[in-house]
Structure 1
């Protein structure tokens, strides 16, 4: 009797491979042209003045452009920032892409990146009112969306946090990490980290998963995810 065919998991599926290569190549490009890339492709707040006074001189301020909601996710602030994002993306994302297929995974990842960007845009644009103007870069919004999906799909699989080498079930890991991000965002803990962008990636990822599962008032024509 023939056994049902089960495809072998792919270690580097297409979308994950593209993201790893694209982020790596952009980081190399940053080594030679960081300033132009930051000005044009980082996520800048809405409502910034064209120029500001800095040290007695008038300085031009980069402006928000719609493509920045995607492009900011391919820029990183350093080698450690890049490594942590890409390692988590590969370690967790491979299992999701193998389970969902490349098309669904690509849609999910970029929805999380854009969703994280929208939340961060609100936060950063509010900061403009207090004369705080800064760009946002990094794929962390998409990575946190992947983390949330992994915790929902594989809740009992154990994960180990780099700074706390104790195996924790994915569902508790996600809840704990999300709670920490919310606390850190509200209190301003760990300055320079876009905590609300991380939460935005998780929020938009959760909403998309619930939509695909037919659990929102607006439903797809057919259920896309059935777990």
Structure 2
């Protein structure tokens, strides 16, 4: 089992709308648990099907011949067994729609009265499932309402996990109004794709928010393609976590849904086709908004609305220059502001984004400042994002980071990417061999080798290097203590 449990993209404000959607889904599931669909719903359905057959036998054939001959011609002109079956089903559905409208028999006909009474009773007996989407048969409002109804607690919890991970960021970036329109549009689009996939005829209703959430995942891929997603795995008795870039994880998930849609309705009841439709819709809408510049404008507006205190005039001036595409003036304002207030994290981050377009050396210097400020504020999510953005733009720029910034990134990565952290420690030792933080980096590297990577003898060699640097230092004393622990472990091994 592999499931996502988080990522490195934070939010600037509480996503009220996403939380409200989650609470509505939760409340409806509690209601469905207390008042489940009645047992007689299945019996009412069978009775309704029998009545439909009676209507067809007694009135349907004559009605088609006299009033809807084009339906009969469509059946007669269809070629192939399955084409004829599909045309015949469409003809019967059209006749039943006309029957419900009172076009086949008079309004006071006993069959029509009985049919409407059965439909009403079955609708009530279904409980919340009555608001699921049945292609070709449900009212238009179910294109949206189905996304708030779930088939059980596991279904709900899984959807809420994905909604929390993607929805919060999209609402934060686009604002509540645009996010609401997008979410409901994603729900409707995924339902329509589900209906098209099933030729607008499905016995089972579509329920669950996964189609709308798939749309959010598609949009997340476009606007946060380089996010690092943390995964939890459980394979037999082994558990752990690892990270994967969004541009790998989400397309792989999409391919899985494509394959699943081929089995839909035959070997599985999961609506994979709705997931595929929602994901494509979300990615397409986000791409259009990004190319049109709307995404950037909404993100900038969101950043400004998140400021709940009176911001420094120089910072506001810099943001104005950035919007007006005057990077030199923006850079001057940001550098002046950081000269006056060296701990202004937002200014350091904006300057870093500007320097990413300048050159490797300037970007590395700005990244070092931003990383150290994030480390001081214990904002590991933003710290990792700065490092990831720098590495993506300049793959070799890590060697230009300040030693203190390098060790801060390595310490942050050590929790779930031991090999990546070790690589940064090695880079620090190689590029700044005489720096005062090197002994600390050596001790941290030895701990990773011993405890996380299972290489105690390599760790011992690293600890000996610490002692050789300065035999009288506190770092050397700690290295001797750790060497003794390694030796004791080796002596006690069978």
Per the shorter chain, which TM-score range?
0.7 to 0.9
Match for residue 269 of structure 2 among 181, 192, 198: 192
Higher relative contact order (CA 8 A, sep 6+): 1
Q: Which residue of 2 aligns with 1:120?
A: 194
Does structure 1 retain, via aligned residues, the 8 Å contact 2:144–2:188? Answer: yes
Per-residue CA distance 1:130-180 (angstroms, 9 max, x = gap): xx6111100001111111111211112111345574311011111101111
Query: What CA distance in whole angstroms lies between the structure 1 residues aligned with 2:228 and 2:291?
Result: 28
Per-residue CA distance 1:22-61 (angstroms, 9 max, x = gap): 1111111112333233452011121xxxxxxxxxxxxxxx
Query: What CA distance in whole angstroms lies between the structure 2 residues aligned with 1:41 and 1:78?
Result: 15
Q: How does 1:145-184 map to 2 (within 5 A)?
A: 145-163=215-233, 165-184=241-260
The secondary structure found in structure 1 opposite 2:169 is helix
Structure 1 stretch displaced more, 93-102 or 77-86: 93-102
Shift >6 Å, 4+ stretches: none
Q: Which residue of 2 aligns with 1:144?
A: 214
Q: Which residue of 2 aligns with 1:201?
A: 278
Q: Which residue of 2 aligns with 1:34?
A: 36
Residue 168 of structure 2 corresponds to residue 94 of structure 1: yes
Q: Which residue of 2 aligns with 1:106?
A: 180
Q: Which residue of 1 aligns with 2:148?
A: 74
Q: CA deviation at 1:70?
A: 0.4
Query: What CA distance in whole angstroms lies between the structure 2 residues aligned with 1:151 and 1:24?
Result: 27
Query: What CA distance in whole angstroms lies between the structure 2 residues aligned with 1:140 and 1:198?
Result: 7
Distance 1:65 1:99, change over 3 A: same
Does structure 2 retain, via aligned residues, the 8 Å contact 1:124–1:134? Answer: no
Per-residue CA distance 1:108-142 (angstroms, 9 max, x = gap): 1111111001111122345x4xxx61111000011
Structure 1 stretch displaced more, 69-78 or 90-99: 90-99
Does structure 1 retain, via aligned residues, the 8 Å contact 2:221–2:246? Answer: yes
Query: What CA distance in whole angstroms lies between the structure 1 residues aligned with 2:291 and 2:226?
Result: 23
Q: CA deviation at 1:75?
A: 0.7
Distance 1:163 1:135, change over 3 A: farther
Does structure 1 retain, via aligned residues, the 8 Å contact 2:223–2:286? Answer: no
Query: What CA distance in whole angstroms lies between the structure 2 residues aligned with 1:95 and 1:194?
Result: 25
Distance 1:39 1:100, change over 3 A: closer
Q: Which residue of 2 aligns with 1:16?
A: 18
| The structure with more helix, counted as a fraction of residues | 2
Query: What CA distance in whole angstroms lies between the structure 1 residues aligned with 2:135 and 2:160?
Result: 25
TM-score, length of structure 2 as denominator length: 0.37
TM-score, length of structure 1 as denominator length: 0.76
Query: What CA distance in whole angstroms lies between the structure 2 residues aligned with 1:80 and 1:115?
Result: 24
Query: What CA distance in whole angstroms lies between the structure 1 residues aligned with 2:187 and 2:232?
Result: 23
Does structure 1 retain, via aligned residues, the 8 Å contact 2:227–2:245? Answer: yes
The secondary structure found in structure 2 opposite 1:213 is helix
Q: CA deviation at 1:72?
A: 0.4
Does structure 1 retain, via aligned residues, the 8 Å contact 2:218–2:281? Answer: no
Does structure 1 retain, via aligned residues, the 8 Å contact 2:148–2:207? Answer: yes
Aligned length: 192
Distance 1:95 1:186, change over 3 A: same
Structure with higher Rg: it is 2
Q: Which residue of 2 aligns with 1:43?
A: 133
